[in-house]
Amino acid sequence: MHSSITAAYLARYRSVLDAAPAPAELLPLTGAQRRFLITRRRDLRGRADIVPLFFAFPRGTVDLPHLRRAAVRLAARHPALRGAFTTVRGTPVLRLGGPSVEVARVATDPPGPDGAAGPDGSAAAALRRALLDWPADGPVLRLLLAAAPDDEEELLAVALDHAACDEQSLGLVTADLTSAYEQDRGQDREQEQGEEQDRRDGQGGVEAYRAAVEGQLAAEAAAASETAQVHWAARLGALDEAPPDEASRGGAAVGGVAWSTGMVAHRLPAATGAARGGVFPALLDAVGVAARRLTGDERVLALGYPWGGRPPGAEPVLGCFLNTLVHPAPPGPARGLDELGAEWWDDLDHADTPYDEVVRAARSAGARWSGALDGLLTFEDLNRRPPLVLGGTAGRETHLGGRPLAAPLAVSASHGEDLLVRLAWDRDRYRDADAEAAFGALLATLRRHLGPAD
């Protein structure tokens, strides 16, 4: 049996603990966390992969001192927000420390001589610039508020280093931040007592976090099996890299990340009844159609999507408990949801196999593939995420384009009262008109699978 990447990491981690003067301060990382850290170190700019949420509040709703204290209390409860993701003797770890949070107001461009805002004077542009300028050494959580002088609403960015965040973590952040903010309002003495309680609770939180990560690593080690290798070799053995002229376009891409991006969005009716179970395979097919429309070649495309969840019995801790699965999108005629769904369920049976193991399995079957993805799909069930409520007002979630992309195109879908679908693309690789045409093909595919209502 081949050696396991996870087992090798655990051996190095235990060696680091044996030599560390304060081993209790060093926590292990999941496979996904290690990949994010390694990717960051390979990026020439050293920037973290981040997950931002954006909420609009009526102007004056958000009190920054209250929000700052609430963020510190949130960090006290969750080890992933206390310290830094780093390496010790070449081994990725989480080193515990103080709250790794930033709460700040971001200035928009000042008005010009005529009183009008500068060319990038919107709150959205100010937040976008701030998030693109994410410090190389953290923090893990940033809460940034912005508004142009005449705006009736303020925009709040709730952004996390992806190494500390997955879909379930987003729900924990909005719920706990809402609770901490409400507890803080007008209760300074009680706030001091509450922070002391949070520090006591934080000690138990460290052990809960450690147990959850160790459970995830045990699942990853078990999933690096011969059976999983056979499955992924059969599924991905036909993958191939993009042609050199296609892959090398994208002058603004740094370290494989596209920094000049566009975005389009559309809302479809929410899927109900039996159709709800077909939403994700329908999205996989639709993303494949859009990616093929943009690439124009006939190779099998590699589409990635995050999937995961806490290990059985794990406490609800903040962290990154997911894996990136790979879906091969072959050329040829359209297929039905039954076939697509069956393949997807088979893949989920091997969802814990670490990504590096999957790449190794594909290459062992003859794939000329480095692990680079042609497209990404992220899906969020909004019914599982509590709203962010500050000062008694629920923030209205909104979406900003212009985020850096780790693949030439990325599709995000949010399923709640409707199905919001967004396509973002690398503008240095694809023309806007071509991307918009691909988005039209994506929507047509979704309508074919899920119904024509719009």
Q: Partners of 213 in the beta sheet?
A: none
Nearest by Cα to 143 from 416, 411, 395: 395
- Check which CATH number belongs to the domain holding 417 and give it: 3.30.559.30
Between CA 322 and CA 32 the distance in angstroms is 6
Interval 69-84: pLDDT, tens: 999 999 999 999 999 9
Nearest by Cα to 202 from 319, 86, 82, 321: 82
Residue with tokens 């899920």: 450
pLDDT score of 254: 32
Please indicate, yes or no, whether residues 430 and 391 belong to a single structural domain of this protein: yes
Does a cis peptide bond (omega within 30 degrees of 0) precede residue 330? Answer: no
Between CA 147 and CA 153 the distance in angstroms is 7
Q: Is the pLDDT of residue 307 over 90?
A: yes
The whole-number average pLDDT for the span 169-190 is 83
Strands 153-161 and 50-58, sheet pairing? antiparallel
The answer to whether 287 touches 411, Cβ cutoff 8 Å, is yes
Percent of the residues in the chain that have a pLDDT greater than 70, as a whole number: 88
Nearest by Cα to 374 from 239, 252, 270: 239
The answer to whether 174 touches 387, Cβ cutoff 8 Å, is yes
Please indicate, yes or no, whether residues 164 and 190 belong to a single structural domain of this protein: yes
Please indicate, yes or no, whether residues 136 and 238 belong to a single structural domain of this protein: no
- Check which CATH number belongs to the domain holding 33 and give it: 3.30.559.10
Q: Which two tokens stand for residue 186?
A: 């007008």
Between CA 255 and CA 133 the distance in angstroms is 16
Question: Residues 6 or more apart from 23 whose CB is under 8 A from it?
Answer: 17
Last residue of a domain, one of 220, 236, 254: 220
Please indicate, yes or no, whether residues 209 and 298 belong to a single structural domain of this protein: no
Q: Work out the mean pLDDT of the chain and round it to a whole number.
A: 88
Nearest by Cα to 221 from 450, 441, 1: 1
Residue with tokens 């009183």: 115
Q: Report the alpha-carbon angle 329-331-337, nearest 5.
A: 55
Eight-state DSSP code of residue 398: E
Last residue of a domain, one of 220, 249, 271: 220
Please indicate, yes or no, whether residues 298 and 171 belong to a single structural domain of this protein: no
Domain count, the chain: 2
Question: Residues 6 or more apart from 411 whose CB is under 8 A from it?
Answer: 283, 286, 287, 290, 375, 376, 377, 378, 421, 422, 423, 424, 442
Please indicate, yes or no, whether residues 208 and 321 belong to a single structural domain of this protein: no
Between CA 374 and CA 301 the distance in angstroms is 6
Nearest by Cα to 34 from 51, 53, 13, 55: 13
Interval 106-153: pLDDT, tens: 999 755 554 444 456 799 999 999 998 888 788 999 999 999 999 999
| Helix, strand, or coil (residue 263) | strand
The whole-number average pLDDT for the span 397-415 is 89
Please indicate, yes or no, whether residues 243 and 337 belong to a single structural domain of this protein: yes
Please indicate, yes or no, whether residues 183 and 316 belong to a single structural domain of this protein: no
Last residue of a domain, one of 185, 220, 255: 220
Stretch (H or E) spanning 356: helix 355-364
Interval 330-378: pLDDT, tens: 988 778 899 999 999 999 999 999 999 999 999 999 999 999 999 999 9
The whole-number average pLDDT for the span 303-320 is 92
Please indicate, yes or no, whether residues 206 and 289 belong to a single structural domain of this protein: no
| Helix, strand, or coil (residue 122) | coil
Nearest by Cα to 24 from 94, 100, 125: 94
Interval 246-277: pLDDT, tens: 544 433 333 356 668 899 999 999 888 777 88
The whole-number average pLDDT for the span 297-303 is 91
What is the residue range of 332's domain? 225-450
Interval 378-393: pLDDT, tens: 999 888 889 999 999 9
pLDDT score of 115: 47
Strands 91-99 and 153-161, sheet pairing? unpaired
Please indicate, yes or no, whether residues 89 and 205 belong to a single structural domain of this protein: yes
Please indicate, yes or no, whether residues 376 and 320 belong to a single structural domain of this protein: yes
Please indicate, yes or no, whether residues 271 and 216 belong to a single structural domain of this protein: no
Between CA 66 and CA 296 the distance in angstroms is 52
The whole-number average pLDDT for the span 318-334 is 91
